[in-house]
Amino acid sequence: MITIESVQKKLKEKGLKLTNQRKAIIEVLVENKDNFLTAEEIFLKSREKCPQTNFSTIYRNLEILTNLNIIHKTNIENNTSMFELVQNDSHHHHIICKKCGRTEFIDFCPLDKILSEVNKKNFTLTDHKFELYGYCDKCKKKDNR
């Protein structure tokens, strides 16, 4: 699990500081560790902790933290970017509720067979994403889905 101290160490290794805004972002994501949040949600929650924060600072820091593999970014069907704290460095995938953003890990890779076929095509795959979208029980009950 990512802690403020481990984030500070990763930032320091890259010559970056743990600013008040970055700390607020990490705290918000720790408090919401079972959900993906939009940049706007992170912005609003971060402002409660660090009132001088502006949206462009949040978005710039989300990109930095994503590039450092501290947070994970995904896009849902309406092309909205959503973010979560990286809680597990091992290879995994997600099930994501389209309504509330709640996430669950899939601890195995259902793409293993496909990956072996890709390798046969003399193609070096460097990364992939596999995310399943639907509705959690709580949201299904609310909306009678």
**In the block, which residue shows the tokens 């995310």?**
131
* 28-44 CB burial, b ≥16 within 10 A, e <16: bbeebeebbbebebbbe
How far is C-alpha 118 from the chain's CA centre?
27
Q: Is 78 exposed, middle or buried (0-12, 13-18, 19+ CB in 10 A)?
A: exposed
Is 97 within any annotated ligand binding site? yes
Is 100 within any annotated ligand binding site? yes
Is 50 within any annotated ligand binding site? no
Query: What is the pairing mode between strands 93-97 and 131-134?
Result: parallel
Q: Tell me how far apart the alpha carbons of residues 33 and 54 are, in angstroms, rounded to a whole number.
A: 23
For 38-63, give the DSSP string.
EHHHHHHHHHHH-TT--HHHHHHHHH
Is 94 within any annotated ligand binding site? no
Binding annotation for Zn(2+): 97, 100, 136, 139
Binding annotation for Fe cation: 91, 128
Binding annotation: 91, 97, 100, 128, 136, 139
